[in-house]
Structure 1
Amino acid sequence: MKLISDCLEIKHLDQYAKCSIDRIIVSLPHVSARPARVYTMEELKEIVKFAHELGLEVGVNMLNFVMEDDLDKFQDALLFCKDNKIDRIYFADMGVYWMAKEMKMEHLLIYQPTTLIASSQDANEYLRLGIDRVVLAREITFDDMKHILSHCHGCEVSVFGYNVMMHS
């Protein structure tokens, strides 16, 4: 089991490590949905360096929907993630998957479509694409989660925190 938290302050990274947090999630302008805080690319470089020194993984929130006008922003964000050794990328729009696949980065992806992963068949179908993990829907029962987890390896479950149903 890994503990994952949004990164609210760069200065708190050492506290995250002391609390046994395994991965922090950071958000970038234009590509992140519902961010706890948005960081610039320069701030993110500092975060990645410090986090990795502390043994923390870094995940990037790329949960926004990809609109045609935003393709360059998403491609730039993916290139940044690749160049700066980001450990995981959370996404909800399959456009991000196709861009990442072209860059040979699909193994860094975690599919988090909020309400869509509600069965082991759903989860396994996305995992077959080479995606590292999927996040189960929060609306399913605990028994359903246990069933899915027993038939699928590569799932994350949100057990605490801000619960967003959907955005539009």
Structure 2
Amino acid sequence: MNKPELLAPAGNLEKLKTAINFGADAVYLGGSKLNLRAFADNFGNDELKEGIEFAHNRGKKVYVTLNVFPHNEDLEGLEEYLTELYNLKVDAVIVSDPGIIMTAREVVPNLELHLSTQANNVNYKSAIFWHKQGIKRIVLARELSLEQIKEIRSKLPESCELEAFVHGSMCMSYSGRCLLSNYMTGRDANRGECAQPCRYKYYLMEEKRPGEYFQVIEDDKGTYIMNSKDLCMIEHIPELVHSGITSFKIEGRMKSSFYVASVVKAYRQAIDAYFENMDGYKFNEKWIENLGMSSHREFHTGFYFGEKNKQVYGSSSYIRTHDIVGVVKSYDKENGIATVEQRNKIFENDTVEILRPIGDNFQVAIEDLTNMDGDKIESTPIAQMIYKFKTDIVLQEDDLIIKAKEDK
């Protein structure tokens, strides 16, 4: 049984490096065109080249999303863009539109193609059809159970890979094919500009009683009738492995580096632990605890086990217990001084935690806080400022410094 690939989101170059450093086997990202995260940082060609070199030097892969449903004007320059991606040596492109697929087969026939979940593939015959069109991997629709995935796997040739989301935000619409954003705000969700109106707070009005609004009350905060929980399958690694999924995909190109690091690390540890000792495998509660530190909504197992309640009718607000406050840039062992780039404000004498790829989190006290000139400071209020503090605990470059949120 092959160990599945762990595939992580990379909203920018920093997140790409974070994902790989914390254990991802591959990352997926948006380039300059035709991807469904128009408001992410995305990658220009220079950044993409640097990211690909960083990944390939560590034996990892980079997939680029071209998964919009393009209108005619969106196709301008498609051939040149595909050629650029091929020359940059991306490992695959993720596609959903037959026109883009056809063009890719004509222009860059040796470029590997993965079918986006946007194509909502829910049966084995569709998977076979796409495989015959040159698709190497099917990113399955999220509306499938583990039993259905097993059946699809059993009817496909070994040359056809399967990828499935195992963690992150879920869309209330079928495989993300939603028109609400377009209708309500003019921002096309299927061209990368979703305004997430499913997260809005709604009231009900009967058509013959204009102006009379009836709140659909679930509790004192109202109700969010289309607001989905977050998918989380960390407690079900054995079931996922035995379903035949080739690649475990994490959602979240718009999420923070802290999110990427904590989620990738948890799934890396869980997958590795299972393959080290399948018979004696035990779930570690620290994995789910660490997942809860970064921003998320209430967790759920989605459609995997056929449960009826897929949505959450409570609140659209996020849950998180910790914030990222800094990234270690260097550590002076002789003097015991860490140099850090700020991400959120901290204060002298704060107690923080260190998140790194290997090992459990551990605590460090912030002492002798100074700016780069060596001047004593009480806090770090300036975004991305470089600061220093003293600690006898040896820190490493790219360690993430996180801090528990204060109860209000």
Compute the TM-score of the two structures, normalised by the length of structure 2: 0.39
What stretches of structure 2 of length at least 5 have no aligned partner?
A: 178-188, 191-408
What residue in structure 1 maps to residue 138 of structure 2?
A: 134
Counterpart-to-counterpart distance in 1, 2:69 and 2:117: 10
Once the two structures are TM-superposed, the CA of residue 37 in structure 1 deviates from its matched residue by: 3.5
Q: What does the per-residue CA deviation read over 1:40-59, in whole Å, with 9 as the maximum and x for residues that have no partner?
A: 12211111111111211010
The letter for the 2-side match of 1:157 is A
Once the two structures are TM-superposed, the CA of residue 16 in structure 1 deviates from its matched residue by: 2.5
Once the two structures are TM-superposed, the CA of residue 68 in structure 1 deviates from its matched residue by: 1.6
Counterpart-to-counterpart distance in 2, 1:151 and 1:26: 30
Summarize the Cα distance change of 1:43–1:107 in structure 2 as closer, same or farther, 3 Å threshold.
Answer: closer
Counterpart-to-counterpart distance in 1, 2:139 and 2:15: 26
The letter for the 2-side match of 1:50 is F
Summarize the Cα distance change of 1:31–1:14 in structure 2 as closer, same or farther, 3 Å threshold.
Answer: closer
Decide which moves more: 154-163 or 117-126.
154-163
After TM superposition, the structure 1 = structure 2 runs for residues 10-49 of structure 1, keeping only pairs within 5 Å, are 10-34=13-37, 36-49=40-53
Decide which moves more: 151-160 or 135-144.
151-160
Measured on the aligned residues, the alpha-carbon RMSD in Å equals 2.0
Whichever of the two has the greater Rg, that structure is 2
What residue in structure 1 maps to residue 163 of structure 2?
A: 156
The letter for the 1-side match of 2:92 is R
Compute the TM-score of the two structures, normalised by the length of structure 1: 0.89
Q: Please tell me whether the aligned partners of residues 121 and 140 of structure 2 are also in contact (alpha carbons under 8 angstroms).
A: yes
1:98 correspondence with 2:105: no
Once the two structures are TM-superposed, the CA of residue 8 in structure 1 deviates from its matched residue by: 3.0
What stretches of structure 1 of length at least 5 have no aligned partner?
A: none
Q: Please tell me whether the aligned partners of residues 31 and 63 of structure 1 are also in contact (alpha carbons under 8 angstroms).
A: yes
More strand, by proportion: 2
Counterpart-to-counterpart distance in 1, 2:8 and 2:143: 20
Equivalenced residue count is 168
Q: Please tell me whether the aligned partners of residues 78 and 100 of structure 1 are also in contact (alpha carbons under 8 angstroms).
A: yes
What residue in structure 2 maps to residue 4 of structure 1?
A: 7
Decide which moves more: 16-25 or 53-62.
16-25
Counterpart-to-counterpart distance in 2, 1:52 and 1:67: 34
What residue in structure 1 maps to residue 232 of structure 2?
A: none
Q: Please tell me whether the aligned partners of residues 107 and 130 of structure 1 are also in contact (alpha carbons under 8 angstroms).
A: no
Once the two structures are TM-superposed, the CA of residue 112 in structure 1 deviates from its matched residue by: 1.1
Identity rate, percent:
24
User: Could you say what secondary structure the match of 1:158 adopts?
Assistant: strand
Once the two structures are TM-superposed, the CA of residue 139 in structure 1 deviates from its matched residue by: 0.7
Q: Please tell me whether the aligned partners of residues 92 and 113 of structure 1 are also in contact (alpha carbons under 8 angstroms).
A: yes
Counterpart-to-counterpart distance in 2, 1:110 and 1:120: 16
Once the two structures are TM-superposed, the CA of residue 131 in structure 1 deviates from its matched residue by: 1.3
Summarize the Cα distance change of 1:107–1:11 in structure 2 as closer, same or farther, 3 Å threshold.
Answer: closer
Summarize the Cα distance change of 1:113–1:44 in structure 2 as closer, same or farther, 3 Å threshold.
Answer: same
Counterpart-to-counterpart distance in 2, 1:34 and 1:91: 14
